[in-house]
Amino acid sequence: MRSVNIQDIAREAGVGKATVSRVINGKGYVSRETAAKIRAVMDRYHYQPSALARSLSRRESDAIGLIIPEANNPFFSSLLTGVCEVLEKCGYTLILRTSGNDTQRDYRALEAMRYQRVRGLIYVPACNYENERDFEQMASRLNDLGSPYVILDRPISRLDCDCVLSDNFSGAYAATEALIRAGHRAIGVIAGNTQLVIGRERVEGFRKAMAQNGLPLHRPFLLTGSFGQEETYRQVTMLMREPEHPTAFFIANNRSEIGFLHAMRDLKLKIPADAAFVSFDELPGQLVFELPYSCLDREVASLGAKAAQLLIRRFDEPGRPAERLVVVPRLTLRGSEKRIARK
């Protein structure tokens, strides 16, 4: 790893290394000529200072950590993109880790960030750390980190810190209302992972919309649990085979949506005639294939960008009160919500 260092440059330019340091950082007095001479030498040697040494000396690194559950997921990779863009523009270095939604890996990721002495952290937790013990653990770990952090997408309650979240409740509310306005009355909800706070908030939004409109909530129409595509497939299949079943669904997440769609296909049921729906987030490729599925959109990359901006802003104003950005998803109706007679 030995490369030319500040000492080499100083020697070659016949000056002290402090002077070289001054021209590198463009601060402190240094005469035009000296500066020019030094710059010439630096160019000649392709000199590039060492971030390592610099950070150590300044007691402040320029690395920002990002922890996401998975990189291979359109939602998180969009967040990543937003974060990336801002950091590059602002001259920070991005250190990335994934947790695979696994608590242990999540902890290890956090440790890795501490090890690297990141200047700050953008964090999409593997889960919400709701039970007392887990919460304490997490709070203390984040505290140990010793750097500011922004919680992204998945709230950890009681943590008074910057965060960028989605308004899952009102998103779900709006989606459900759209179904109601379309004329549906027997509406079901596919809740996705209710282990996660965001999952529960979505169910709550649904409930509220139903209640406000005086619509009953059939217990069997509530498909909740911590399940993915296959489980949804099974549950939807069973439900739709019952004589009494919903004419529409609010689907709280992507994976459930896929399970739902497959179930519909295998049951030979048509959308929206046999079952209408509105879901959270676009399915990847949905726009490309121009499928008329109504859903709640979030400008995902901009969520990431906002988180990065919030973090950077905190560097300058460490004292300011924690900011809580809650972005309301936009409802886009494309037809799958309609109530139409079966042909």
- Radius of gyration of the chain, Cα coordinates, nearest whole angstrom: 26
Query: 263 with 290: CB under 8 angstroms?
Result: no
- 297 beta partners: 330
Give the one residue of 14, 28, 60, 220 binding its own copies; rule: CB under 8 A.
60
Residue 78 interaction partner, one of its own copies, DNA, none, beta carbon < 5-8 Å per kind: its own copies
Using rule CB under 8 A, residue 115 touches its own copies: yes
Q: What are the residues whose beta carbons fall under 8 Å from the beta carbon of 252, sequence distance 6 or more?
A: 172, 189, 190, 191, 192, 199, 202, 203, 206, 279, 280
Region binding its own copies by CB under 8 A among candidate stretches 111-119, 195-203, 213-221, 323-331? 111-119
Using rule CB under 8 A, residue 213 touches its own copies: no
Q: Judged by CB, which is closer to its own copies: 288, or 341?
A: 288
Question: Minimum CB separation from DNA for residue 143, in Å?
Answer: 18
Residue 16 interaction partner, one of its own copies, DNA, none, beta carbon < 5-8 Å per kind: DNA
Using rule CB under 8 A, residue 256 touches its own copies: no
Using rule CB under 8 A, residue 77 touches its own copies: yes
Using rule CB under 8 A, residue 80 touches its own copies: yes
Using rule CB under 8 A, residue 237 touches its own copies: no
List of long-range contacts for 39-45, beta carbons under 8 Å, 24+ apart: 40/13, 41/9, 41/12, 41/13, 42/9, 45/4, 45/8, 45/9, 45/12
What letters, b where the CB count within 10 A reaches 16 and e where it falls short, cover 168-206?
bbbbbbbbbbbbbebebeebbbbbbbbebbbbbbbbebb
Query: 1 with 7: CB under 8 angstroms?
Result: no
Q: What are the residues whose beta carbons fall under 8 Å from the beta carbon of 240, sequence distance 6 or more?
A: 263, 264, 267, 269, 274, 275
For DNA, the binding residues (CB under 7 A) are 1-3, 5-7, 14-19, 21-22, 24-25, 27-31, 33-35, 48-50, 52-54, 56-59
Question: Minimum CB separation from DNA for residue 319, in Å?
Answer: 21
Residue 17 interaction partner, one of DNA, its own copies, none, beta carbon < 5-8 Å per kind: DNA
Q: Cβ-count burial of 248 within 10 angstroms (0-12 exposed, 13-18 middle, 19+ buried)?
A: buried
Q: Judged by CB, which is closer to DNA: 59, or 241?
A: 59
Residue 72 interaction partner, one of its own copies, DNA, none, beta carbon < 5-8 Å per kind: its own copies
Region binding its own copies by CB under 8 A among candidate stretches 35-43, 44-52, 152-160, 203-211? 44-52
Question: Minimum CB separation from its own copies for residue 192, in Å?
Answer: 16
Phi, psi at 29, each rounded to 5°: -80, 135
Residue with tokens 């242990």: 104
Residue 46 interaction partner, one of its own copies, DNA, none, beta carbon < 5-8 Å per kind: its own copies
Query: 304 with 79: CB under 8 angstroms?
Result: yes
Residues 142-171 as x/- pattern, contact with its own copies by CB under 8 A: --x-xx------------------------
DSSP letters, 25-59, are HT-S---HHHHHHHHHHHHHTT----HHHHHHHHT
Residues near its own copies (CB under 8 A):
1-3, 46, 48-53, 55-56, 59-61, 63, 70-72, 74, 77-78, 80-81, 84-85, 88, 93-98, 105, 108, 111-112, 114-117, 119, 144, 146-147, 258, 261, 265, 283-286, 288-291, 301
